[in-house]
Structure 1
């Protein structure tokens, strides 16, 4: 029987055996080979959002095991795919998170990746790239790449996973990309496509960004979305019809009236209503439609043409047995500019 990492009482993580999950006519049953860790994974456990019996984890890569009769995409068994699922949900919804040997996802919400990308690296792509794409293209209406937009865009916190994909996607859309990070990351972010990088700790960072944008900055994505960051980001926005995409709730009160907030919650791409971070979110079919379009763009253009490259991978040995250690590393802020990735085949269930 396949295994999964289950949240139990007192936030304990336990490896348990499960039957294969059921899949619908539009779904793929996917044998997970690799899982990439995201902050939302440990937060669901640490803050008690994941109830006992739930399975956390979002980003995965794997192989198609079974194919629903109405599944689109002409997938074949054994084919390599990547995607994300909504981990940490109440077990009554029977949605298995990615820290599991098998997951189910609609065929329209996964993507193929070229042989030049390892499955470990592919697992870093789904959640962060769709978050970046939702903010830049779906919410702020910048043109989908490849394009020649030429407008300046600020990516605050460019070395985060979402930041790295935002830089690449904005550059592929033809934008003039301004970003912030610690100086040690500047060269790498310029390799990804940033035109100019500033130290977010510099006391003059706001004026530096405004100068770089010629006082005409109207687009920004705040990849931190906390009180301190959003205040600085909004201070840089002096262009007409200024917008900022935010990736966490709770900062709306810090956003001045001349800036329009474009909140992004990638879980809306699954096309169903949900309760996340203490808030109810209605189903947004338009978000799901955008995700389907974006994942096809990843498959057909962005990945094969090298316009989007995966995050750097830090392999954590031990499979699901090592996840608790990985959570602690992230909670202690010891993970920077890379993704922790687990290989499911290394899991032991004694």
Structure 2
């Protein structure tokens, strides 16, 4: 079959990869569309992926076969979407950029017939990141099925026009929070249409200035900040925005980014723990298996499936790209060079030459 695999620090299309074998806790999926994420190129650029490993995380397609250990009920032909551990050093078959893939069945979700596969493919990795950043580990906010009752409960989502930020804004509103966010001025109307209450341009002012503006707007009452840029500058902006007394303040970001204010609780997340399996990143960093993360993921995806079916979650703007799997390597380079804004690159497998 056709697939995109790692070769050094590059993504390469191969046309003779064997179809993956079904594992007990997985579904075999005929992939219709895949979406690109920054993590796809970052793992390659960091040479964290052994040669021959299947790449990619986000997919949507049809169920072909169901493993005997999958507890969620599926039938052949069901429309599903999900995220997989692309570039997994210990499991070269894990990945999304192929004609057929295996994915943890209990972490997939059913795709409504009215939702195109191209749109559904933009959702899964973002959902997992929202789960960890806003709810399970990072900010510990109220879930949408138990919205907060506090009047004008505030949250800052730094980077609201990113794919994950767009989902985060919607989830925060469903959870009853007032959302402050940042993005470029060209995307103000987009993030407002998702439910953002107040938007600031994070490109034309210093981090300290942005932080002070947010603190003034929130009357020094902001206690929750989710940083989707996860740089030293964004951490400084978020920290300046949080309440000056620091009481109950939480800062969540990717990996090990921390607030420069020691009194603020800083939590880094890595959505790759959602599969409940141990894995290594490079030679030094090892993540233990976490059944808690898997169980959270299973429940959260089930809840998200309901919200999607009810039309309460809008997928991020997809950017349909030509070439199918053959176009993926160029798409990863485009992402790497910063050539994508407020959209997610999506490829249809049937377009592969």
Same fold per superposition (TM over 0.5): yes
Alignment partners' CA distance in 2, 1:192 and 1:148: 18
Q: Contact 1:114–1:304 at 8 Å: present in 2 too?
A: yes
Structure 2 equivalent of residue 234 of structure 1: 239
Q: How much has 1:114 moved relative to structure 2?
A: 1.7
Could you give the per-residue CA deviations for residues 90-122 of structure 1, whole angstroms, max 9, x where no partner exists?
A: 2x5233211111111221110012223210000
Structure 2 equivalent of residue 290 of structure 1: 296
Q: How much has 1:69 moved relative to structure 2?
A: 2.2
Residue 331 (str. 1) matches residue 331 (str. 2): no
The runs of 5 or more residues in structure 2 that have no matched partner are none
Q: Contact 1:130–1:266 at 8 Å: present in 2 too?
A: yes
The number of residues matched between the two structures is 343
Residue 80 (str. 1) matches residue 79 (str. 2): yes
Q: How much has 1:16 moved relative to structure 2?
A: 3.0
Residue 245 (str. 1) matches residue 252 (str. 2): yes
Alignment partners' CA distance in 1, 2:59 and 2:107: 12
In structure 2, relative to structure 1, the CA distance for the partners of 1:215 and 1:94 (3 Å cut) is same
Q: Contact 1:241–1:258 at 8 Å: present in 2 too?
A: no
Alignment partners' CA distance in 2, 1:10 and 1:303: 36
Alignment partners' CA distance in 2, 1:10 and 1:179: 34
Of 184, 188, 192, the residue aligned with 1:190 is: 192
Alignment partners' CA distance in 1, 2:295 and 2:70: 15
Q: How much has 1:343 moved relative to structure 2?
A: 0.6
Structure 2 equivalent of residue 279 of structure 1: 285
Alignment partners' CA distance in 2, 1:14 and 1:159: 30
Residue 123 (str. 1) matches residue 121 (str. 2): yes
Could you give the per-residue CA deviations for residues 41-77 of structure 1, whole angstroms, max 9, x where no partner exists?
A: 1112222111111111000001000011232222110
TM-score when scaled to structure 1?
0.94
Residue 134 (str. 1) matches residue 115 (str. 2): no
Alignment partners' CA distance in 2, 1:19 and 1:177: 47
Q: Secondary structure at the match of 1:329?
A: helix
Could you give the per-residue CA deviations for residues 234-293 of structure 1, whole angstroms, max 9, x where no partner exists?
A: 1111152211111233x23x5321111111100000001111265211112111111111
Alignment partners' CA distance in 2, 1:196 and 1:272: 39
TM-score when scaled to structure 2?
0.93
Alignment partners' CA distance in 2, 1:75 and 1:267: 24
Q: Secondary structure at the match of 1:297?
A: helix
Alignment partners' CA distance in 2, 1:9 and 1:216: 48
Residue 322 (str. 1) matches residue 327 (str. 2): yes
Give the RMSD, CA atoms, in angstroms. Answer: 1.6
